[in-house]
Amino acid sequence: MKIYIFEPHPDDLLFGPGPILLDWIEDKNEIYIITVTDGRACYRSGEDKYSDDVANMTEDDVAEMRISEAKRATDFLGLPHENHHLLRFHDADGDKYVPEAIEKVKMLIKDADRLVMPSDNNLHVDHQATHDIAIGAAKELELKDAEYFVYFISSYGKFHEDSKDKQFEYTIDEQKAMILNDWLDIYQSQAKLKWTWKMYKRYIKKVRDWTYAVFRYDDIGKYFNF
């Protein structure tokens, strides 16, 4: 299968489809990653305790670091660099770049067998924008034969009951959890956030059941999450 994965920020690849992506790679699917934003707003909120060096970093520095991490994650997964598309839109400006991004991605996904994206009705502006980009491009291309694979990062919302028959639980073992932990260590930009990093580490260590949902083209707009 040709699988195109929409990643709102560098590191969402891990916390979105990460575990099941490892299976797709092992099964020799053709994987493409579309990283939508550059992650530059990582330290903007001031709601965490930051490492000392963050004070000397510009947002351009942060973007460069996070894009570099996204590339390293591609290497970690053994994917070709030419299969990784970096749109480099500014982080936290999701509603501003949707039309432009739709035009950029249409040529990339026109032969997709599976599109992987964040859920609709998402609390994070960039995750919502990424969903809107993926669906907008799919509708303009009329990708009626593609499968639509939806993930939801738990801190931004949850799957609703109306799509219960579309959802499934994916369970990981200790070996896969160790791989995910090694993958997480690539994102040292997040390690500069004391409480966020603790939360990420705890999540990878403890969570064994991941929820996903699979939809079809005719389902668009009929469900809370799609």
The residues, any chain, with a CB within 8 Å of residue 36's CB and separated by 6 or more, are 6, 7, 8, 9, 87, 89, 97, 101, 126, 129, 130, 133
Tokens 């995910």, located at residue: 180
Structural domain for 144, as ranges: 2-219
Specify if 123 maps to a domain.
yes
Query: Could you give the count of Cα atoms lying within 13 Å of 203 in the half-sphere of its Cβ?
Result: 17
Side by side, the strands of the sheet bearing 209-215 are 84-89, 30-37, 2-7, 114-118, 147-151, 209-215, 167-171
Specify if 19 maps to a domain.
yes
pLDDT digit string (tens) for the chain, length 226 residues: 999 999 999 999 999 999 999 999 999 999 999 999 999 999 998 889 999 999 999 999 999 999 999 999 999 999 999 999 999 999 999 889 999 999 999 999 999 999 999 999 999 999 999 999 999 999 999 999 999 999 999 889 999 999 999 999 999 999 999 999 999 999 999 999 999 999 999 999 999 999 999 999 999 999 999 9
Specify if 226 maps to a domain.
no
Specify if 23 maps to a domain.
yes
Look at residue 139 in the predicted model and tell me its pLDDT: 98
Look at residue 154 in the predicted model and tell me its pLDDT: 86
Per-residue b/e over 34-50, b at no fewer than 16 CB within 10 Å? bbbbbbbbbbeeeebee
List helix spans (H) across 33-164. Answer: 59-77, 98-109, 125-141
Specify if 78 maps to a domain.
yes
Count: domains in the chain: 1
Look at residue 47 in the predicted model and tell me its pLDDT: 87
Q: What is the CATH number of the domain that holds 109?
A: 3.40.50.10320
Q: What are phi and psi of 209, to 5 degrees?
A: -110, 120
Specify if 224 maps to a domain.
no
Look at residue 46 in the predicted model and tell me its pLDDT: 84
Specify if 63 maps to a domain.
yes
